[in-house]
Amino acid sequence: MSAILLDGSIVHYEVLGRGRPVIFLHGWVGSWKYWISSMQVASTSYRAYALDLWGFGDTAHVSTNYTLEQQASLIDRFLIEMGIGKIALVGHGMGALVSMTFAVHFSHSVDRVMAISCPLSYEGVNARLRTSPVSDLVDWLSNRSSESTIALADASKADLQAVTASMDDLRADNFFGGFRALNIPTLLVYGERDQAITIPGEEMSNSTMTQQVVLEESGHFPMLDETARFNRLLTDFLALESGASPSELELKEEWRRRVR
């Protein structure tokens, strides 16, 4: 286990590979662990980091740090501490919201964003995800395979206050418009069978630099439900030239039918 200390509190992370940095951020259910397969694939060409955010996994429970801005500040301080420059961000659920919040405040540090199962408004979150204990959500949202059980083993470690704080921030500030105005290359990825997050319409999600892909056989965790397909999409997106629109992914037959 790797960790750094920020203000005397432990922040846990794992790292694989060499190359341009990619930061993986987990969502409301689980920890860094469900990124293992994606990190292994990315690490063949990139330096892949996965963090546990404040209140999750093996990172400290510090209730004053649970807002989306404080979670984004964690990423900034981690980059400074580790001497990391411009990054690609891959965030899931809450991690996607943290990625966008980070980009709004530190856009100079962001090359591209892949946002998976990301609600673009508070209304896009199922009430059960907003109110149930995190450990109760695993059976509801996972595919219940042995691999998913292992990948989501840290769900019970989550502090419900951290979940609530991020939901409160989402309800108070519909920040997606501000993020999209930055014109950072962004790929939105959803599972068609996701019970927790409503897939936004094209008019809300698509723009010159923002594209949406829906994986038909996935639920809330595409990286676990369709691992091989998700990892191909991840590597295709990371391989785009810096500043290129993710709409170029439409040229690939693999995604032509799946781009919304």
For the chain, how many structural domains are there in total? Answer: 1
* pLDDT tens digits, one per residue of 127-136: 999 888 887 8
Question: pLDDT value at position 153?
Answer: 93
pTM score of the predicted model: 0.95
Q: For the chain, 260 residues long, give each residue's pLDDT as a single digit of tens.
A: 799 999 999 999 999 999 999 999 999 999 999 999 999 999 999 999 999 999 999 999 999 999 999 999 999 999 999 999 999 999 999 999 999 999 999 999 999 999 999 999 999 999 999 888 887 899 899 988 888 999 999 999 999 999 999 999 999 977 788 898 899 999 999 999 999 999 998 766 667 899 999 999 999 999 999 999 999 999 999 999 999 999 888 656 666 555 55
Domain that holds residue 27: 2-256
Strands laid side by side in the 46-51 sheet: 2-6, 9-16, 46-51, 20-25, 87-92, 110-116, 186-191, 210-215
CATH number at residue 119: 3.40.50.1820
Beta partners for residue 186, in sequence order: 113, 210
Alpha-carbon span 44 to 230, nearest angstrom? 16
